[in-house]
A and B are shown apart, each in its own frame.
Chain A
């Protein structure tokens, strides 16, 4: 396995991992344990907190535990533009931080993937195939 791939999880992947056992949680654990570098930004935390507050009536402990979970990733700087598109800002932040892979379940963001670019945009299943099954 090639060590040290830089992987940025979109907010929906973090929230999925926090709520249900499954692929996203396993991906997080497996990549962290295999020596890949997880990247994140303050905007991810803000968005995740917004979702947890909006969706769950009993969220106080969850916010604190989410921060503990989120702290396993290295923080990178957010991008200011485009101001009206948080998804695009996260992708830009990941790209600026030299991420190799951006993981998301958002179909619109997945549509921005291009094979010839340095950073691939893939689903959690795609990331599992690239980084765990293929060992890359």
Chain B
């Protein structure tokens, strides 16, 4: 399944995008998809960490090393 999304950019944003197209050889669409995918991952991680981090500390996990040690 695919969807078409129209995004309005100001002149500065459009210029920055075109500079990236030139520098990377990627298309505008590829660059926007890459950015959306990365942002979705960041937001998902942020939501998970905001939810689970305090619960983890309360349950005795203080750092990621505690998890790497305890979860096989």
Contacts and interface: CB of A to CB of B under 8 A. Distances in A.
Q: Is the interface of B mostly helix, strand, loop or mixed?
A: helix
A72 B45 contact: no
A87 interface: yes
A20 B67 contact: yes
Interface string A51-84: 1100111100110011011001000000000000
Nearest to B65: A105
B68 A19 contact: no
Contacts, number: 103
B61 A19 contact: yes
B72 A87 contact: yes
A70 to B, nearest CB: 10
Interface in A1-39: 11-13, 15-25, 28-29, 32-33
Given A22-B64, A106-B71, 17 more contacts: A12-B70, A17-B64, A19-B48, A19-B67, A21-B49, A23-B64, A25-B45, A29-B38, A29-B42, A29-B45, A32-B37, A55-B55, A58-B51, A66-B48, A72-B41, A106-B72, A107-B69
Interface of A: 11-13, 15-25, 28-29, 32-33, 47, 51-52, 55-58, 61-62, 65-66, 68-69, 72, 86-87, 104-109, 123-124
